Amino acid sequence: MDAIYWPSVFFLLFGGTACTFAVAVLVSKNIVRMAFYLILSLAATAGLFFLAGADFVGAMQLMIYVGGTLVLLVFGVMLTSQERFVEMKSDAGDWVIGFLAGGALLATLIWAAVSIPAWQGMSRAEAEALTVEKTATPLGMSLVGFRVDNPKESGYLFPFEIVSVHLLVVLVGAAYLARAKRKITKVALASEPSSAGTDQN
Amino acid sequence: MIHLPLASLLTEPVGAMHYVVVGAILFTCGVLCMATKRNALGVLMGIELVLNGANMNFIAFGSRYLRGDANSMGLDGQLIALFVIVLAAAEAAVALAIVLNFYNNHNSIDVDRADQLQG
Amino acid sequence: MAQFLSELSVFGFRVCPWPWLAYVLAGVVHIALIINLVAVGALIFIWLERKISARIQDRLGPTRVGGKFGWLQTLADGLKLLTKEDLMPNGADGLLFKLAPYISFCAAISAFIAIPFAGGSYPWIAQHLNAGVFFVLAVLGLEVFGVILAGYSSASKWSLFGAMREAAQVVSYEVPLGMCVVVPVMIAGSMDMVVIGDMQAGWFTNWLVFHDPFTFVTFWVFITCATASVNRAPFDLAEAESELVAGFHTEYSGLRWSFFFMAEYGSMFSVSILASILFLGGWHGPVPVASLLGLGGESSGSIGWFLAQLLGLGNVLLKGTLGVCIMMWIRWTLPRLRIDQVMTTCLKYCTPIAAVMFLGATCWHYNFPSKNFFGLTSYPQSVYQIKEGWDATKKQPLAAEAKADKVAQVQRGKRAISRHGERPIFLSSGERL
């Protein structure tokens, strides 16, 4: 048997973790456990990013996704699941149709993935000849418009600015949408059927 | 001819194909979550899984360790993945705000209860 | 370390007959060192906290266990905690309840993987990451999960409230913390903590905290945000003993509770060391003793280099301990803030101040890029060689000879000041951007 190629072992480790916990998110019924499994799956995804040489993107995935978006999600889970362990089950029919459609999608995607020869891996000799490159500085430079890896191409300054303004707008909008409003009481609803569904500010 | 990858997974370097398979599994789990979960936050988690599956593809095609220097998308793949992460965070914030509003109005996050516009 | 181990032979035996064993052993040695540092550090800090709090409150503190100063008190407490009954509340979610302390502990320890304890060409660091600062910030933000899971799975409303408050606080304070960290990163031009630390070589006038008035203020904002980030008083309403029984760790007893406490002291220590590396010179002391004594030779393996590195390590640990002592001092002096006061401090004070200081430091550095110590002195020449130059053809940091060329190029560029400031960007073809 040939010598073990350790990066592939780590790929199997991280990839297996990501897929297992993604399936666990699908199968689990408790919403907090689903959130926890999602955290583990996304952390394993960050590990896969590190393996593919995208160290900056991997660190960003950990910081933004795991440390930000998922904290938000878990907050949402806690604010809305006051009745403990209420289980919302889908019908069995929904599951069957879902699995059929999902299974067909998965089969198509995997078949497409394995049948393109250009996507197969490199030979081992080629892989061991590669040097490790750092990506933080080129990424930062291209975000402000200078591509150091390929000076003929333009940078990503315009999308960067758009995304910055987009984030500002979205977060202001989300904060406005989620502001505290007075709750409608049942008495108010019963006595004024015409104003049902509107919120009072 | 379809080249089965299982025989040499431990001894040969992985290619973009393996990453695409992982991405496909994440994507499918996300789509199934969106389709079958009744909890609105479960649907949100499905959305996050879908976006991560797509990111996995971008990173795989942009990595010079998986495809060699000449074939990879280079830095573009990583930059697009970066933008996807940021936009996904923004969209999760808005979606959560909507879910919170829904909870405040109906006192439940069961998406099957959101049928007031049903014809 | 892995390379060293793979070539090591003791009494004629090769220690690592298989190459992968070298990596495993290197990892084990690093992890053992870090866990020792955090655990023994927690031991010492808990004793120190009791002594400091006692003296501030005009009493003595532990005086019996281990001689006159009671320094073995924490060991005795640890033994007691080990023998306590392991309780779990009735309605608790078993898996998450048991997992939560370990998540906190692992997040606190993982930050030490990327923190350098002595610098130079062979820094004493477990994993020399290019984006070290970024990694440490990301991992410190993961500690909040342990808290949230602990609070939720304890099936107790005190725990849930404490956990939500703490999560809101930690996540909100990550924003000004990140902005404060960006200031020294911008001045050094690299996220690599070894580069940031080595930039402050020499006398204390080279320390980044004295670089310009904006960085000086940023340091104090960093200390405030770091204190809030690790939930120390006056921001400790998550564990507010007078209000919430004990917050998110109400239902934890025995060894599980001690994991939470080791995580807390570990993260206090790591943000103090981070502050010392980013602002206070790291392993370079106020007086450059190593170079004055002629110890800081670059050839690794010589005893002089080792002693210089040891001095650096002592410096880092001393400054970290000083930071922790200051946090303890503040805890026992100031009253606790309410949650709305905490949020006001973050959103209305720390974040705008951090943003304005970032802007000011950028403008200052743009105008005086080669000046130190509030613009009064200049950088020593060695610093230019440490700052990362970028080689566009090979897409990697410059080799040593090329760095010297780059330094010469930079000097030429400095004399021809362009519109872009004093350090124009040189492409490999020699043209300037």
Split at pLDDT 50, 70, 90, the class of C380 is low
* Claim to verify: residue A108 and residue A195 sit in the same structural domain: no
In chain A, positions 19-48, which contact chain B (CB-CB < 8 Å)?
19, 22-23, 25-26, 31, 34-35, 38, 41-42, 45, 48
* Claim to verify: residue A101 and residue A161 sit in the same structural domain: no
Nearest CA distance, A191 vs chain B (angstrom)? 17
Split at pLDDT 50, 70, 90, the class of C399 is low
Task: Encode pLDDT of C29-86 as tens digits.
Answer: 888 999 999 989 988 999 999 999 999 999 888 888 777 788 888 888 888 888 888 8
* Claim to verify: residue A141 and residue A99 sit in the same structural domain: no
For chain A, the straight-line distance linking the first and the last C-alpha, in angstroms and rounded, comes to 72
DSSP track, C226-289: HHHHTT-TTS-GGG-TTTSTTGGGTT--THHHHHHHHHHHHHHHHHHHHHHHHTS-TTS-SS-H
Three-state SS for chain A is CCCCCHHHHHHHHHHHHHHHHHHHHHHCCCHHHHHHHHHHHHHHHHHHHHHCCCHHHHHHHHHHHHHHHHHHHHHHHHHHCCCCCCCCCCCHHHHHHHHHHHHHHHHHHHHHHHCCHHHCCCCHHHHHCCCCCCCHHHHHHHHCCCCCCCCCCCCCHHHHHHHHHHHHHHHHHHHHHCCCCCCCCHHHHHHCHHHCCCCCC
Is A131 in Cβ contact with C396 (below 8 Å)? Answer: yes
Nearest CA distance, A62 vs chain C (angstrom)? 6
Assess A33–C contact: CB distance below 8 Å, yes or no: yes
Per the DSSP assignment, residues forming a β-bridge with C378 are: C371
Nearest CA distance, A158 vs chain B (angstrom)? 12
CB neighbour burial string for C212-222, b if at least 16 within 10 angstroms, e if fewer = bebbbbbbebb
* Claim to verify: residue C240 and residue C266 sit in the same structural domain: yes
Quote the percentage of chain C above a pLDDT of 70.
77
Q: Is residue C159 part of a domain?
A: yes
* Claim to verify: residue A113 and residue A33 sit in the same structural domain: yes
Residue type, A181: K
Query: Could you give the CA distance from residue C173 to residue C225 in angstroms, rounded to a whole number?
Result: 6
Cross-chain CB nearest to A119 (options B17, B48, B94): B17
Assess C433–A contact: CB distance below 8 Å, yes or no: yes
Is A136 in Cβ contact with C130 (below 8 Å)? Answer: yes
Whole-prediction pTM? 0.83
C69-74, Cβ contacts within 8 angstroms, sequence gap of 24 or more: C71/C47, C73/C47, C74/C42, C74/C43, C74/C44, C74/C46, C74/C47
* Claim to verify: residue A46 and residue A68 sit in the same structural domain: yes
* Claim to verify: residue A17 and residue A115 sit in the same structural domain: yes
Q: Is residue C386 part of a domain?
A: no
Q: Is residue A87 part of a domain?
A: no
Q: Is residue A124 part of a domain?
A: yes
Q: Is residue C417 part of a domain?
A: yes
Q: Which two tokens stand for residue A187?
A: 């008495």
Nearest CA distance, A148 vs chain C (angstrom)? 6
Contact B77, A139 (CB under 8 A): no
Average pLDDT, chain C: 79
* Claim to verify: residue C220 and residue C165 sit in the same structural domain: yes
Per the DSSP assignment, residues forming a β-bridge with C13 are: C10
Q: Is residue A143 part of a domain?
A: yes
Is C141 in Cβ contact with A68 (below 8 Å)? Answer: yes
* Claim to verify: residue C314 and residue C422 sit in the same structural domain: no
Nearest CA distance, C376 vs chain A (angstrom)? 30
Q: Is residue C385 part of a domain?
A: no
Per-residue confidence (pLDDT) for residue C422, from 0 to 100: 38
Per-residue confidence (pLDDT) for residue B73, from 0 to 100: 77
Is C167 in Cβ contact with A75 (below 8 Å)? Answer: yes
> Number of structural domains, chain A?
2
* Claim to verify: residue A33 and residue A13 sit in the same structural domain: yes
Interface probe for A, chosen from B1, B39, B71, B107 (most Cβ of A below 10 Å), is B39
Contact C347, C172 (CB under 8 A): yes
Assess C164–A contact: CB distance below 8 Å, yes or no: yes
* Claim to verify: residue C170 and residue C256 sit in the same structural domain: yes
Specify the pairing of strand C396-397 against strand C390-391: antiparallel
Per-residue confidence (pLDDT) for residue C176, from 0 to 100: 94
> Number of structural domains, chain C?
3
Helix axes A70-80, B75-106, angle to 10 degrees: 10
Q: Considering A101, A133, A165, which residue would you say is the last residue of a domain?
A: A133
Q: Is the pLDDT of residue B7 over 70?
A: no
* Claim to verify: residue C6 and residue C152 sit in the same structural domain: no
Give the H or E element holding residue C396: strand C396-397
Query: Could you give the CA distance from residue C155 to residue C94 in angstroms, rounded to a whole number?
Result: 11
Task: Encode pLDDT of C99-148 as tens digits.
Answer: 889 999 999 999 999 999 987 777 888 888 888 898 899 888 888 888 88
Q: Is residue C384 part of a domain?
A: no
Q: Which has the closest alpha carbon to C389: C195, C213, C231?
A: C195
Q: Is residue A16 part of a domain?
A: yes
Instruction: Report chain A residues whose CB lies below 8 A from the CB of C153.
Output: 32
Q: Which has the closest alpha carbon to A7: A105, A119, A185, A127?
A: A127
Per-residue confidence (pLDDT) for residue C416, from 0 to 100: 43
Query: Could you give the CA distance from residue B110 to residue B101 in angstroms, rounded to a whole number?
Result: 13
* Claim to verify: residue C198 and residue C253 sit in the same structural domain: yes
The alpha carbon torsion through A34, A39, A40, A42 (nearest 10 deg) reads: 120
3-state secondary structure of C421: strand
* Claim to verify: residue C419 and residue C278 sit in the same structural domain: no
* Claim to verify: residue A44 and residue A69 sit in the same structural domain: yes
Say which residues have a Cβ less than 8 Å from residue C399's Cβ, sequence separation at least 6. Answer: C391
pLDDT, average across residues C330-335: 89
pLDDT, average across residues C310-336: 90
Q: Is residue A121 part of a domain?
A: yes
Inter-CA distances, C336 with B69, C343, C389, Å: 57, 13, 47
Contact C296, C119 (CB under 8 A): no
Angle at A185 between CA A183 and CA A189, to 5 degrees: 115
Per-residue confidence (pLDDT) for residue C358, from 0 to 100: 94
Poorest-confidence range of B18-32, C55-69, C205-219, C272-286?
C55-69
Q: Which two tokens stand for residue C276?
A: 């010392």
Cross-chain CB nearest to A137 (options C142, C149, C390): C390
Per-residue confidence (pLDDT) for residue A184, from 0 to 100: 59
Split at pLDDT 50, 70, 90, the class of A150 is confident
- Residue ranges in C57-207 assigned as alpha helix (H): 73-82, 94-110, 132-140, 143-153, 157-188, 193-198
Q: Is residue A167 part of a domain?
A: yes
* Claim to verify: residue C332 and residue C236 sit in the same structural domain: yes
* Claim to verify: residue A140 and residue A126 sit in the same structural domain: no
Split at pLDDT 50, 70, 90, the class of A25 is very high
Per-residue confidence (pLDDT) for residue C420, from 0 to 100: 39
Q: Is residue A151 part of a domain?
A: yes
* Claim to verify: residue A29 and residue A61 sit in the same structural domain: yes
Q: Is residue A34 part of a domain?
A: yes
Q: Which two tokens stand for residue C131?
A: 């984006």
Contact C244, C158 (CB under 8 A): yes
Instruction: Report chain C residues whose CB lies below 8 A from the CB of A78.
Output: 148, 152, 160, 164
pLDDT, average across residues C389-407: 52
Is C130 in Cβ contact with A134 (below 8 Å)? Answer: yes
Per-residue confidence (pLDDT) for residue A197, from 0 to 100: 42
By C-alpha distance, the chain A residue nearest B95 is A174
Angle at C320 between CA C314 and CA C325, to 5 degrees: 120
Q: Which domains does chain B have, with CATH numbers?
A: 15-111 (1.10.287.3510)
Cross-chain CB nearest to A32 (options C152, C390, C427): C152
Q: What is the largest distance, in Å, between two alpha-carbon atoms of chain A?
A: 80
Q: Is residue C14 part of a domain?
A: yes
Assess A34–C contact: CB distance below 8 Å, yes or no: no
In chain C, positions 234-263, which contact chain A (CB-CB < 8 Å)?
none
* Claim to verify: residue C235 and residue C348 sit in the same structural domain: yes
Q: Which two tokens stand for residue C192?
A: 């690599």
3-state secondary structure of C378: strand
Q: Is the pLDDT of residue C11 over 70?
A: no
Q: Which has the closest alpha carbon to A66: A19, A28, A18?
A: A18
* Claim to verify: residue A125 and residue A175 sit in the same structural domain: no
Per the DSSP assignment, residues forming a β-bridge with C14 are: C9
Per the DSSP assignment, residues forming a β-bridge with C9 are: C14
Assess A134–C contact: CB distance below 8 Å, yes or no: yes
Pairs of residues, one from chain A and one from chain B, whose beta carbons lie less than 8 Å apart: 273
By C-alpha distance, the chain C residue nearest A61 is C138
Per-residue confidence (pLDDT) for residue C430, from 0 to 100: 42
3-state secondary structure of B39: strand
Q: Which two tokens stand for residue A27?
A: 């199968």
Domain ranges, residue C93:
84-378
Nearest CA distance, A192 vs chain B (angstrom)? 16
Q: Which two tokens stand for residue C49?
A: 């906290």
* Claim to verify: residue C295 and residue C404 sit in the same structural domain: no
Is C174 in Cβ contact with A67 (below 8 Å)? Answer: yes
* Claim to verify: residue C45 and residue C156 sit in the same structural domain: no
Domain ranges, residue A194:
134-201
Is A76 in Cβ contact with B87 (below 8 Å)? Answer: no
* Claim to verify: residue C114 and residue C189 sit in the same structural domain: yes
- Residue ranges in C289-399 assigned as alpha helix (H): 289-292, 303-331, 339-344, 351-367, 381-386
Q: What phi and psi, each to the nearest 5 degrees, are found at residue C14?
A: -75, 125
Poorest-confidence range of A170-179, C337-346, C406-415?
C406-415
Per-residue confidence (pLDDT) for residue A83, from 0 to 100: 59
Higher pLDDT, A145 or A27: A27
By C-alpha distance, the chain B residue nearest A91 is B36
Q: Which chains touch C (3 or more CB pairs under 8 A)?
A: A
By C-alpha distance, the chain C residue nearest A146 is C433
Interface probe for A, chosen from B3, B25, B47, B58 (most Cβ of A below 10 Å), is B25
Three-state SS for B74-113 is CHHHHHHHHHHHHHHHHHHHHHHHHHHHHHHHHCCCEHHH
* Claim to verify: residue A52 and residue A140 sit in the same structural domain: no
Q: Which two tokens stand for residue C71?
A: 């320094």
Q: Which has the closest alpha carbon to C201: C385, C364, C423?
A: C385
Task: Encode pLDDT of C415-431 as tens digits.
Answer: 444 333 434 444 444 44
